[in-house]
Chain A
Amino acid sequence: MSDPVLSIRGLTLALPKGADRPYAVEDVSYDVHGSEILCVVGESGSGKSMAANAVMGLLPKGVRATGGEVMFDGQNLLTLTEKQHRELRGLRIGMIFQEPMTALNPLMRVGAQIGEVFEAHNKLTPPERQARALELLIEVGIPQPEKAIRAYPFELSGGQRQRVMIAMALALEPELLIADEPTTALDVTTQAQILELIADLQRRHGMAVMFITHDFGVVAEIATRVCVMREGRIVELGTARDVLERPQHDYTRALIEAIPGNRIPESRYLDPPTPLLEVSHLHKVFRSRGGLFKASREVHALDDVSFILAPGETLGVVGESGSGKSTLGRCVVRLERPDSGTLTLSGIDLSSLKGEALRRERRRVQMIFQDPYASLNPRTRVGMAIAQGPIANGVARDKALKQADELLELVGLGGVADRFPHEFSGGQRQRIGIARALALDPELIVADEAVSALDVSIQAQILHLLEDLKHRLSLSLLFITHDLRVAAQICDRILVMQNGRIVEQGSARDVFLNPQAAYTRELLAAIPGREQALASA
């Protein structure tokens, strides 16, 4: 093997005093060779991004390198001055960030932003820069590049913006490309396209790519070699094949096993008795208020949606962003009011209820929210947060608080009722959210992306908890997710949504193994690491 492009030796980065551990990364060594993609994998807080930040000279304030070296082209990057670093950045080392939304200047045309990269390094004349920008946009496969070059970032979709970011990173043909979770914020189908693009560009330019991700599916899709990190240390380093198929370390094995969807859903189809929830011809249109000079805009979030949910069943609603799946969930719990259609929960039509009547019926449908950090009031003790529902419905305070204790016990968090939410981790908060949803003994629970914000191993635990509760309490669940792998793990039946319509519904097994709609097939094909999963199943 040739000399490595980037060689990290014994890198140790100290965190400021008062952090939860003394070192962000400790004694980390790995190489990135030309023409390979090294995936650095780990859960949040594993320090996987920190090493990349050290390479770019972009360490956050308070984090210092206390040992080791980062060798690039014969120089130790840790000892460079800010000015020397700036010369390397962009020119020799390119970087792609996670959030394409915020990494571009919203007030600058795409062409000008790409041109800026050349300008920063005093390359080319202005007309040449624009010509080169256009070539780059063509290379990264943006549709209608002549138009895109004059577009502002808000006129592009997330995937297109990420392509612009890649074009900027590639502008000066760097030897090393660092990609920090570049596809995490994207839909699966877009993610698949971007992964393909990165792999393709890497082959054509013979670049070294350091790809940071939390997703083993992505690793399976793209990696040449893999470096697994945990709590600032490397737990495993090897070729993608070895690590994925013969993981040596327990932690790696646990991570790979925790990936949902490495198994085909079993058939759990129940004969539909009387439906618990019957949704028919639901419509919801969002209108943006038109101003004096702009026309009002209409978005059909729900377009003639009908389905039934049987008692004790878990129904998955799967779709990409903008498919209307969250609006559907919010209509079912009546945080939104559908424009037309009916929502019948064991005989009572919820869609037309208003005011006090609606408030009384609310306890029958509860929701588990997506963001465990936003869904608990920071100033309310968790026991109280759970007890509030029963209290609002007339249960005595003491009794409600006692019941909250029992519920916390049920979700695996005993004796913590008088703590505040900030004392809990994301996974624990999500357990509290589940306890809160259970407190009113609802007939139906809507889980809106309930595990999307969590690390895979935590995700697996929460899914396990839901599964367990489902059996013990015979819950009925409407499970909304963008992640087909998650849906496969917990759902009995699945609805696939696109642009506000249901394109396919059926038992989980049928949808996975014998998809009927073209869109479903597209979604399934886009799941990263799918071939691997099927091969090993």
Chain B
Amino acid sequence: MKFLARFAQNRGALIGLIILVAIILMAILAPLVFPESPWRMVQRPFLPPLEQDGFPLGTDTMGRNVASGLMHGAWVSLLIGLVSTTVALAIGVPLGAIAGYYGGLIDDALMRFTEFFQTIPNFALAIVLVAIMQPSVTSIVLAIALVSWPPVARLVRAEFMSLRHREYVEAARLVGQGDLTIILRQILPNTLSPIIVLASLMVATAILLESALSFLGLGDPNVMSWGYMIGAARTVIRQAWWLSFFPGVAILLTVLSLNLVGEGLDDALNPKLARERQ
């Protein structure tokens, strides 16, 4: 209860949460509101917004319903954002925990491995991975996860390094708890708040990455996504502004709301820091 109260104190976070819930509702309701495939051509092309009932956002170059594409795209964006973040956490958290807990040679080896990924520009690596694996939702999720786990590993490692010499951890070692128990029961719960905050921001980054990949034509050809919509409309941006504008606003709002929620979580989970910042 206290946590919710602290979260609600940050007005930005509350607005972010409302937007996010709206987008999630959009994704869930998409198949109900627009049962037809968003790829189906249903009207004449280049229909401007608000000109005809049932097409509030108009149609695109091929006569497909923009509103339908937007709602179905929300599902894809959120799914890719959440799943790729989960996969990135599943790689980064154990690596960082092991490196930070054991230190020494293990730490050196794991960190060199992490740096190997960090030295290659994120986006270039993601493009290469998707191109090799053939564009599909799975390959995009994997590519995004593979380029975004290093910061997680770094963060978790730093937290573990500072926590592993705490007296309560030493006390746990003294009573005979094994390494795995200490990592999972003593240290990990105390690193959760920064991880949660980082994860919320990573979802936002993942959505942006997916949009960029789709924009370049590397999206899954079977699913409608916001990035694809913008990419397909870029050649006609002067004749039909609404084709790139609405998906663009959708991306902006989603990423913004996730960032706001992330900041709110940060404040709520670290009340001391938040107070100092005021």
Interface on A for B, CB 8 Å cutoff? 333, 335, 359-360, 362-363, 365-367, 369-371, 374-380, 385, 388-389, 392-393, 433, 436, 439-440
Contacts and interface: CB of A to CB of B under 8 A. Distances in A.
A146 B267 CA distance: 50
B175 A366 contact: yes
Contact of B174 (A335, A370, A371, A385): A335
Contacts of A377: 168-169, 172, 186, 189-190
Contact of A371 (B167, B177, B189): B167
Interface in B9-67: none
A362 B175 contact: yes
B175 A335 contact: no
Nearest to A335: B170
B234 interface: no
B176 A335 contact: no
Contacts of B106: none
24 contacts: A335-B170, A335-B173, A359-B176, A362-B173, A362-B174, A365-B174, A366-B174, A366-B175, A367-B171, A370-B167, A374-B166, A374-B167, A375-B168, A377-B186, A379-B190, A380-B185, A380-B189, A385-B168, A388-B175, A388-B177, A389-B176, A393-B175, A393-B176, A436-B171
Contact of A363 (B171, B176, B185, B189): B176
B121 interface: no
Interface of B: 166-178, 181, 185-186, 189-190
Contacts of B171: 367, 369, 375, 433, 436
A376 B190 CA distance: 12
A335 B182 CA distance: 15
A375 B174 CA distance: 12
A392 B177 contact: yes
Given A362-B174, A389-B177, 5 more contacts: A362-B176, A380-B168, A380-B186, A385-B168, A393-B175
Contacts of B173: 335, 362
B170 A369 contact: yes
Contacts of B170: 335, 367, 369
Given A333-B174, A335-B173, A392 B168 contact: no
Contacts of B186: 377, 380
A375 B167 contact: yes
A281 to B, nearest CB: 24
B175 A440 contact: yes
A388 B168 contact: no
B176 A360 contact: yes
A389 B186 CA distance: 13
Nearest to B169: A377
A392 B190 contact: no
A439 B176 contact: no
A50 B176 CA distance: 44
Contact of B167 (A333, A362, A369, A393): A369
Contacts of B178: 359, 392
